[in-house]
Structure 1
Amino acid sequence: MLVMRPAQMADLSEVQRLAADSPIGVTSLPDDAGRLSDKIAASEASFAAEVIFNGEESYFFVLEDLAAGRLLGCSAIVASAGYSEPFYSFRNETFVHASRELKIHNKIHVLSQCHDLTGNSLLTSFYVVPELVRSPWSELNSRARLLFMAAHPERFAESVVTEIVGYSDENGDSPFWDAIGRNFFNVNYAEAERLCGLKSRTFLAELMPHYPIYVPLLPDAAQEAMGQVHPRAQITFDILMREGFETDHYIDVFDGGPTLHARVSSIRSIAQSQVAPLQVSSAASSGGRPWLLSNGQLQDYRATVAELDWAPGQPLVLAPALAAALKVGEGDNLRLVAV
């Protein structure tokens, strides 16, 4: 059985193993024990804190195989993007160049660096082992964060964003970075992302052009890379698009990958999730359709996937082993949404 739970410091070596295999561009998962230790410590403090509005908190989750005691994925939520440092994006805009005398009216696509998305909650640090891609466990690893947000709305903003890793080739080169960022910071894309993971993205973003970039002046390869998704990031992109996230308005300042945005009230796993009381029974049926289940707690938050024959308005009947894995008992409420 696989269960999603808050990360603990004892998970550090396993988390670093996951980070080492994550694709270039996931700077929130640096292959560095010190940074990962700080990330877990900040998460533990956030889960323990009493919170009445979103601030500097961050929540880091891991996906554990309970039988093997092995981690198979991770994901996180930052309560407020840009709380301690600016959160930069490129905003897609259209400039109009017109000459009344020549009767010319041109619309030009430009990119403007901005921090419009500062203050939104941020989904980050998604990784799942290759054998679980396109399985219900990938859905759990991504969407159980949203069930946590539904259970604790006071801890998060009214809107959510996430940066999807953009296109880079098999050598780790990004045509978008080579066309823009490399002119202002002379390192290749892989090294730029490594530095961001070890330090922060802000110091590099501050070296990027703060004036509009005219897209038609960029090389064709850079233009084609804008809004494109790295193959290994396609799974999280697809899951969140099905959740109701929107794209096209913003892209990443380094690799040109899409930045997704959604109002919390319109996210499927939040808007369509339901709460049901638990009945524990050894006679619980194991058939039906798959559901994401979560217990709605904080430090003891647990979530998993189970096949259930359940109808709205009815109690949720679970076997004792499943109830124990979710750290719930008779009469407790569970939040669930269809996979």
Structure 2
Amino acid sequence: MLALRPVALSDLPQLRRLARERLLGVTSLVDDETCLREKILDSEVSFAKAEASQGPENYFLVLEDPDSGQLHGCSDILATAGFAMPFYSLRNRPFISSSRELNIQHGVPTLSLCHDLSEQTLLRSFHIDAALSGTALAQLTSRARLLFIAAHPQRFADSCISEIVGYSNDAGESPFWEAVGQHFFDLPYIEAERLCALQGRSFLAQLMPQYPLYIPMLPSSAQDCIGQIHPDAREACEILVDEGFAATQYVDLFDAGPTLQARNNQLRSIIQSRVATCYLSPQSGQGQLWLLSNERLQGFRAIVAALDEAPGDVAGLDLAMLDALQLQPGDLLRGVAL
């Protein structure tokens, strides 16, 4: 039974494999040993933090087969986007011009550099092995982050965002980047994406234009990319939309992929999850699928399990489920139906 758990430094070699296989554009998961090591160590410090308050913490989770030790996916929660440096996005909104003499008012869509989304909680680094795509384990890898937020709300903002990878072709070329970013950075999309992954976004403010970009003046190929999703990122997007996320007026700086946003009190796994006391009970394996997690911090675990009876004040789990969640009968768990 696969379980989602906090990352450990011993996961570094396997995490590099996941990073190599990740979709181009997922800048929070890069195949660089130094960068990943720092990310793991930061996560370990975050999980060990005793004070239940929101700050710069990142909580990195990996999907593991406990029997083999093999990792099959990962995801991440950044408690506060823009805490250490501004979290830059492009805001898509019209620029209104008018003439009283001609009685004309006209709005032209523009893209403007901003950091409006700073201070919100950022869901990022989602990756699942291709063989598990479309399964309940993909939902576990994404949605269990929200069960963790529900269990520890003081550590996170009242709303969450997530950037969805935008369109690029099979050669790793982004029409939007070539029409916009290429002129200011003189770097191909792949190199710019890697630079952002390794150094953060601070260099963007130094080189990106501070004035609005008029969308009608961009090539049609670039305009078509604005707010579009890479085909291989559709599952990640659909899971979050099903949770209650919605597209915003903000898009990614590199490929113009959409940024999703939701208030925590609108997210299904947060508002519909229930806490129950577990007890040992054999299960047929034919029941309703549930996302289940314990309520711990450092020892957080989450699984997908088929339960014969929906949890109420109590929840029956078999021995394998209890072991995967590292629970004993009488402990608390959190669950939400798939």
Q: Same fold (TM over 0.5)?
A: yes
Task: Answer whether contact 1:245 1:267 (CA < 8 A) is retained.
Answer: yes
Quick check: 1:11 aligned with 2:11? Answer: yes
Q: Distance in 1 between matches of 2:32 and 2:10?
A: 15
Q: 1: CA distance between counterparts of 2:190 and 2:135?
A: 29
Distance in 1 (alpha carbons) for counterparts of 2:275 and 2:69: 29
Distance in 2, Cα, partners of 1:187 & 1:316: 55
What is the CA-CA distance between 1:312 and the residue it aligns to? 4.8
C-alpha separation in 2, matches of 1:123 and 1:205: 23
Provide the rounded CA distance (Å) in 2 between the counterparts of 1:152 and 1:248.
Answer: 26
Tell me the residue number matched to 2:329: 330
**Deviations 1:129-176 (Å, cap 9, x if unpaired)?**
111111100000000000000000010011111111110011111011
Partner of 1:64: 64
Q: Which residue of 2 aligns with 1:55?
A: 55
Which segment drifts farther, 64-73 or 101-110? 101-110
- Cα separation, 2, equivalents of 1:25 and 1:302: 28
AA paired with 2:178?
Answer: D
1:213 and 2:213 aligned: yes
Question: Do the aligned residues in 1 keep the contact of 2:311 with 2:335 (CA within 8 Å)?
Answer: no
Question: What secondary structure is seen at the aligned counterpart in 1 of 2:111?
Answer: strand
| TM-superposed deviation, 1:311 | 3.0
Do the aligned residues in 2 keep the contact of 1:227 with 1:248 (CA within 8 Å)?
no
Q: Hey, what does 2:155 align to over in structure 1?
A: 155
Task: For 1:206 and 1:138, locate their aligned partners in 2 and report how far apart those are by CA, in whole Å.
Answer: 37
Query: Does 2:318 align with 1:319?
Result: yes
Residue deviations 1:88-129 (CA, integer Å, cap 9, x gap): 011111122222323332221111111111000100111001
Q: Which of structure 1's runs of 4+ aligned residues deviate more than 4 A?
A: none
Q: How does 1:2-151 map to 2 (within 5 A)?
A: 2-151=2-151
Give 1:325's aligned amino acid: A
How many Å separate the matches in 2 of 1:42 and 1:98? 51
Tell me how far 1:206 sits from its aligned partner.
3.1
| Matched AA of 1:26 | V
- CA deviation profile, 1:219-258 (whole Å, cap 9, x unmatched): 1011100011112211110100111111131101111000
Task: Give the aligned residue type for 1:329.
Answer: Q
1:199 aligns with 2:167: no
Contact 2:264 2:270 in 1 (8 A): yes
Structure 2 SS opposite 1:321: helix
1: CA distance, partners of 2:59 / 2:287: 32
Mapped partners of 1:221, 1:11: distance in 2: 40
SS of match in other structure, 1:45 = helix
2:224 is paired with a residue whose SS is helix
3-state SS in 2 of match to 1:24: coil
The 3-state SS of whatever aligns with 1:124 is strand
The Cα shift of 1:264 comes to 0.8
User: Identity rate of aligned residues, in percent?
Assistant: 51
In structure 1, list runs of 5 or more residues that go unmatched.
Answer: none
| 1:296-316 per-position Cα deviation (integer Å, ceiling 9, x unaligned) | 111110000011122353521
SS in 2 for 1:83: coil
Match of 2:259 in 1: 259
Q: Give the letter aligned to residue 334 of structure 1.
A: L
Q: Is the 8 A contact 2:275 2:313 kept in 1?
A: no
Paired letter, 2:66: L
Give the distance between the partners of 2:71 and 2:149, measured in 1 at CA: 22
- For 1:58 and 1:81, locate their aligned partners in 2 and report how far apart those are by CA, in whole Å: 10
> AA paired with 1:257?
G
Aligned to 2:231: 231
Q: How many residues are paired up? A: 338
Which consecutive unaligned segments of at least 5 residues does structure 2 have?
none
Q: Deviations over 1:199-231 (max 9, x none)?
A: 212213431111111111111011100011112
For the Cα contact (< 8 Å) 1:164–1:257, is it kept in 2? yes
